[in-house]
């Protein structure tokens, strides 16, 4: 089993058998303009673990983009999702072009940081992962995926058979192997760090009309 190691702003690397390799083939990453908002590796890993859902973006044979919300499980250093075996829009896109991106975001509170109405923002955490999506046929991996999925999304205390999935052969398991990932966040400041206790307006000398 591979150990996935995150490298912010660079390629996603993996270690296996005491060697290190870098997966290549994606477009070169753009430099983040706001370096002060960059999420560290621990933050990225934590958001991958706790994120409720994500949005998977693919492209079709006609060049049209397609973005769909997906439940997911972070397992074995990859993002795992599932869908029906019926060949629909998503499956057709993946078969055409396996390169995709996956976004997870976690909104927080809106807060004011300055004296003017536009001096407001929202606390949040978000990551965007680029990689390649493949269908996983290994039954053993499916049998590990579904208990993890149900542990994440099941209703508490429901009196139903545990770890019994009678329709497991009717689904497709997708795995996004990450090649590049980055994260950004704005942490909600305490009261002393918000307006009116602190004025951090970017236009402190502006004068509103009378």
Stated pTM of the model: 0.81
Using DSSP's 3-state secondary structure scheme, residue 147 falls into: helix
Residue 8 within a domain: yes
Residue 55 within a domain: yes
Residue 73 within a domain: yes
Q: Is the pLDDT of residue 106 over 50?
A: yes
Residue 188, domain extent: 3-154+165-193
Q: What percent of the chain has pLDDT over 70?
A: 84
Q: Is the pLDDT of residue 5 over 90?
A: no
Confidence (pLDDT) at 28: 57
Confidence (pLDDT) at 22: 33
CA 202 to centroid of chain Cα atoms: 31
> Where does the pLDDT of residue 78 fall: very low under 50, low under 70, confident under 90, or very high at 90 and above?
very high
Confidence (pLDDT) at 69: 98
Per-residue pLDDT tens digits for 12-32: 443 323 222 233 344 555 666
Per-residue pLDDT tens digits for 38-58: 999 999 999 999 999 999 999
Distance separating alpha carbons of residues 56 and 133, to the nearest angstrom? 10
Closest CA to 131 of 17, 27, 1, 5: 27
Confidence (pLDDT) at 29: 59
Query: Tell me, what CATH number does 36's domain have?
Result: 2.30.110.10
Residue 188 within a domain: yes
- Are 47 and 125 contacting, i.e. CB atoms less than 8 angstroms apart? yes
Instruction: Output 187 or 36, whichever has higher pLDDT.
Output: 187
Q: Is the pLDDT of residue 98 over 90?
A: yes
Number of domains in the chain: 1
Residue 209 within a domain: no
């Amino acid at each position: 089993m591979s150990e996935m190691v995150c490298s912010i702003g660079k390629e996603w690397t993996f270690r296996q058998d005491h060697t290190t390799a870098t997966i290549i083939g994606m477009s070169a990453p753009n430099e983040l303009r706001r370096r002060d908002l960059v999420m560290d590796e621990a933050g990225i890993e934590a958001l991958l673990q706790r994120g409720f859902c994500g949005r998977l973006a693919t492209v079709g044979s006609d060049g049209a983009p397609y973005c769909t919300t997906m439940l997911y499980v972070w397992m074995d250093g990859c993002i795992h999702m599932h869908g029906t075996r019926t060949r629909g829009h998503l499956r057709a896109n993946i078969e055409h072009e396996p390169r995709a991106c996956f976004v997870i975001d976690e909104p927080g509170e809106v807060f004011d940081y300055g004296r003017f109405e536009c001096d407001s923002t929202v606390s949040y955490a978000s990551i965007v992962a680029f990689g390649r999506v493949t269908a996983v046929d290994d039954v053993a991996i499916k049998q590990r995926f579904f208990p993890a999925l149900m542990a994440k999304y099941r209703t508490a205390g429901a009196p139903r058979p545990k770890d019994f999935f009678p329709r497991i052969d009717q689904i497709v398991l997708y795995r996004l192997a990450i090649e590049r990932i980055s994260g950004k966040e704005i942490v909600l400041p305490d009261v002393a760090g918000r307006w009116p206790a602190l004025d951090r307006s970017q236009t402190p000398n502006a004068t509103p009309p009378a």
